[in-house]
Amino acid sequence: MKIEFLGTRGKIKPSAPGYKNHTGILIDDQLLFDVGEEEFLEFPHQVIFFTHYHPDHAFFISAGESFEVATPHYGPESHPLLPHVRIFDSSLKWGDYRITSFPVIHALNLQSLGYVIEKDGKRVMLTGDVAWIEKGVLDKLPSMDLVCTEASFINKGGRINRMDGKIYGHTGIPDLIRILSKVTRRIAFAHYGEWFFSFHPNGPQMIKEMATPGMELIPAKDGTMVRL
């Protein structure tokens, strides 16, 4: 599988050369995960999956435009701006790919899904934005050749908000490394937050230095390709 990072910037104002686009991951020029920029629709793809409907993952949300593409597209729930969306129902076979979803805690009033994509004995997991992933969910996942996750906060704990007994926001990179190391030895990061741009150009090195023995950490930039 060829995993291509189309965008690596979180929902923030700062940007830097190579870190301009919002979220999008394209697999084998066939499966597109999140559409943070309208131009991602110009890349070859056959099907679209949304992790959640924040505007940095679904470009049309902030403009209040309806998403009217003929390409089949799946998401975690219905939304007035996605009249043709198909609700993703836990598992789907698409050509040679098996795509499976798992619940991710991230936003207060939106559902979020992570996805596992399998083909030819290789397995990649996309977490989308993460406040937390329940232990029971992680424990059920098989081992991954690659996990693609987010990098909004470099501090332990990230920025988590609480309301009505629920948590939402983004956990930190150290927490993600810790929980995801249960399923993989290889983690790619995108969706950079303010910290990345204030430390620019040192952000990628700062991530690499957080690797524990035997663990490979890949700080992606717009256009980074990882092959499995």
Residues that bind Zn ion (CB under 5 A): 54, 56, 129
CB-CB contact of 41 with 24 (8 Å): no
From the CB of 95, what's the least distance to Zn ion, in Å? 28
Q: Please give the single-letter amino acid code of residue 120.
A: D
From the CB of 23, what's the least distance to Zn ion, in Å? 6
From the CB of 124, what's the least distance to Zn ion, in Å? 19
CA distance 228 to 215: 16
Cα radius of gyration rounded to whole Å, the chain: 16
**Whose CA is closest to 176, among 221, 217, 122, 222?**
217
CB-CB contact of 188 with 146 (8 Å): yes
Q: Token pair for residue 113?
A: 């899904």
Polymer length of the chain: 228
Pick the closer one to Zn ion by CB: 54 or 221. Answer: 54
Pick the closer one to Zn ion by CB: 31 or 131. Answer: 131
**Whose CA is closest to 226, among 149, 152, 112, 173?**
149
Pick the closer one to Zn ion by CB: 30 or 224. Answer: 224
Pick the closer one to Zn ion by CB: 10 or 204. Answer: 10
Pick the closer one to Zn ion by CB: 123 or 221. Answer: 221
From the CB of 143, what's the least distance to Zn ion, in Å? 26
From the CB of 129, what's the least distance to Zn ion, in Å? 4
